[in-house]
Structure 1
Amino acid sequence: MGLFTRRNNDSATATATAVATVDPALAALSGDYTIDPAHSSIGFTVRHAMVTNVRGSFGSYEGALSLDGTDPSRSSAAIDVDIASVDTGIADRDGHLRGGDFFDAENFPKMTFRSTAAEQVGGDRYRITGDLTIKDVTRPLSIDLDFQGSATDVYGNERAGFEGSTEILRSDWGLTWNAALEAGGVMVSDKVKLTFDISAIKNAPQAA
């Protein structure tokens, strides 16, 4: 059984069989986690001028995972990204992205994701579905993730890792600015690839 799985409405016998085959190592992952920004990244890639890719990332965000290894369908994820932290390596371009033509960070400072469901696709690959909000638009989004495993670091922190990506059309979230090129085409593609490389630290159990 994987870390995430589909909700099962089958008979009690099937449910009992599933519970009996839970991997103890995955069951031990159960708990609440905090995403570690120092060892994680949230990035994007977009086609520029029809000939090359521009890559960027968000440097400031916070997120939490709740993992249930014995009933993975009860796992959840939440991420809040500070739009003003967008970084493509060029200050003028970053300023344009923060402005009204794109994210309008002054009026909409956060981009958020809240999961609504998760399922195992195969092996260590999972698909998590939720609501992505950019500016004042909320739309469903599915992200394919690979579970990278778990380990205890040199400081005694229990970590779990995930890596994944998805593609969106930015126009679906109202990000429609563009400029026509003299030779044809547009300056910025509508399609954007989002990438996630997540290291999360297990929170200490709360005192009873």
Structure 2
Amino acid sequence: MFHPDEATVSRPAPPEEPTGVYLIDPVRSSIGFSARHAMSAHVRGNFTVFEGLLKLDGVRPARSEAYLSVQTGSVDTGCPERDARVTGPEFLDSATFPLMSFRSAGVLGAGDDRLHLAGYLRIKDAELPVHLDLAFRAPSRAACARGRVGLEGTLTPRRVGPGPGPGGNAAPRPGGPPIGDMMRLTIDISAVRTRPGQSR
């Protein structure tokens, strides 16, 4: 005779922690920004052309890495005149500095589906120390099976002394505030795990 208390309930195993090299899918990802303009109003928009990768270690999260490259001329604020000001010589100067890049330099903390990275943002002619806080979006089992992960977070500058060069801040114009203090990046990423030999 069948007894309910003797039944064994089979529960699906939880998804494994993401591990491997993941390429950012630009179609399903977005890089937004907020920047102070003319020392008052904030300008908000998106960068539409970017690429990057994540090296995730689910067993030893402290070994995880992140890299991102953004074309500064791909600004979209919804207003062509404002786009021209943001990409112009007084701010991003995309004609002279077409790329802005981030590279991680270490993991400050990991756990509870979060990853806190320290790294450097290369913007114009300076490399600025920044923090990148990422949270993993709860993945569906189908997404895990396809090797896809989702993360969202913010990239903010760390306070350092003034001056150009590594560890210094790049000013958008003489006497102006450091450009690294004027801009925040909002990151919403969908990334796909690569096959061996596929990563760039």
CA distance in 2, matches of 1:129, 1:143: 6
TM-score, normalised with respect to structure 2: 0.74
Q: Which runs of 4+ in 1 moved over 6 A?
A: none
- Matches for 1:12-91 after TM superposition, within 5 Å: 25-26=16-17, 29-47=18-36, 53-91=42-80
Distance 1:74 1:173, change over 3 A: same
Q: 1:63-110 CA deviation, whole Å, 9 max, x = no partner? A: 011111122222111111001101111111111222211111111110
- AA aligned to 2:172 is T
CA distance in structure 1 between the aligned counterparts of 2:41 and 2:91, rounded to whole angstroms:
20
Given that 1:45 and 1:55 are in contact with CA atoms closer than 8 Å, whether structure 2 keeps it comes out as yes
One of 105, 109, 117 as aligned partner of 1:128: 117
The question of whether the paired residues in 2 share the 8 Å contact of 1:34 and 1:200 is answered with: yes
Unaligned runs of 5+ in 2: 1-13, 163-167
Sequence identity, in percent? 41
Contact 1:36 1:198 in 2 (8 A): yes
TM-score, reference length from structure 1:
0.71
Question: Residue type matched to 2:131 in 1?
Answer: S
- SS of 1:25's partner is coil
Q: 2:97 aligns to what?
A: 108
CA root-mean-square deviation: 3.1
Alignment equivalent of 1:176, drawn from 172, 180, 194: 172
User: What residue identity is the alignment partner of 1:149?
Assistant: A
2:86 aligns to what SS in structure 1?
helix
Superposition pairs of residues 149-168 of structure 1, within 5 angstroms: 149-151=138-140, 157-168=146-157
Question: Structure 1 residues 49, 175: closer, same or farther in 2, change over 3 A?
Answer: closer
Count of residues in correspondence between the two structures: 175
Q: Which runs of 5+ in 1 are unaligned?
A: 1-22, 179-187
Say which structure is richer in strand.
1
